Amino acid sequence: MFDPDRLLRDTLPSHPRLLFYPSCGTRCIADIMAADCDVFVFADYRARDPRARRRFWNEIEAEGQTMGKPLTLEASTVGTRVFRVGEKLGFLFFRDNNEVLARIRRTMRVVHCFVGINDGCREGGNYECVHSRPFLHSLLSASAEDLVYITDHSEYLGAHTRFRPRRYVPVSDDEGYDFSLNSVFVRHRNLTREFINENMRYYVNRLNGASRSTSYLPAFARYRSVWRGGVIAHYDVTRRKRDDVSFNTAESPKTAFYEAADVEPPLKEKPFG
């Protein structure tokens, strides 16, 4: 009998970069697999019966085909689809987000990139926001030392167009995680049509001091343009002792947020679309 957990644990490279996207829905799955990771784990428990799961998978497959990024189904069980986009391997689990995160931990893998967008916590029926304290703490305990954290809303970090430049999230009395805003994916309001399709004028606004690659955010271009998703933020997350944190946690509310609204900045790099 096919065992997806065994595949995840035993037959992959020793240290693959793993992206985890809970409450993923059916949109932009093939696009997201362009991000700089080797293995992609998606979770969604909305489709509960076999017929609904077939319909869910067919929507993902059809969108990939339409966009010229076909998905190759390698294995299928009642609760799992294993597939590839090019050479990259994807797992879709029709299970609760917490259960899938526990599976990742059991296979001795760690999460290198977390995607928490459009998770249905407000209007989609999800009982737990993927950025809530319990789930966030579980995620951080299963993450790599340096985690890329992608979000469009968070009680800790901000939402819509206002994101905190930095935030320390404690997980114990003496240890926590330092969230540092690397970049945001915003829309130009004043680009000439010669650059790109009028509905897909987006670019990565990399903040001063950002030290890592911003190659994750362009994978969300269609999410912003076609599906009208909001501003997306990329945070670099590092585990730290509490006394190592060097920023002032008592920032005033007026200066505590970076305004990430769609703007008209000087064009420094070609937009994505």
Residue 100: which domain range?
Answer: 4-183+231-247
Q: What pLDDT, on the 0 to 100 scale, is given for residue 214?
A: 56
Asked whether residue 214 is domain-assigned, the answer is no
Read off the CATH number of the domain in which 109 is found. Answer: 3.40.50
Q: Are 257 and 158 in contact (CB under 8 A)?
A: yes
Q: What pLDDT, on the 0 to 100 scale, is given for residue 259?
A: 63
Q: What pLDDT, on the 0 to 100 scale, is given for residue 207?
A: 63
Asked whether residue 108 is domain-assigned, the answer is yes
Please provide the DSSP assignment of 15-42 as one string. Answer: S--EEEEES--SSSHHHHTTSS-SEEEE
Q: What pLDDT, on the 0 to 100 scale, is given for residue 167?
A: 87
Beta bridge partners of 179: 167, 237
Asked whether residue 201 is domain-assigned, the answer is no
Instruction: Give the pLDDT means over successive 10-residue stretches in the chain (273 positions).
Output: 78 79 92 91 91 95 91 92 93 94 88 86 61 88 91 81 83 85 71 38 58 68 72 87 57 50 45 40
Asked whether residue 174 is domain-assigned, the answer is yes
Q: What pLDDT, on the 0 to 100 scale, is given for residue 194?
A: 36
Asked whether residue 226 is domain-assigned, the answer is no
Asked whether residue 268 is domain-assigned, the answer is no
Asked whether residue 166 is domain-assigned, the answer is yes
Based on the structure, what is the number of domains in the chain?
A: 1
Q: What pLDDT, on the 0 to 100 scale, is given for residue 92?
A: 96
Pairing of strands 111-116, 18-22: parallel
Asked whether residue 254 is domain-assigned, the answer is no
DSSP-derived letter for residue 230 is -
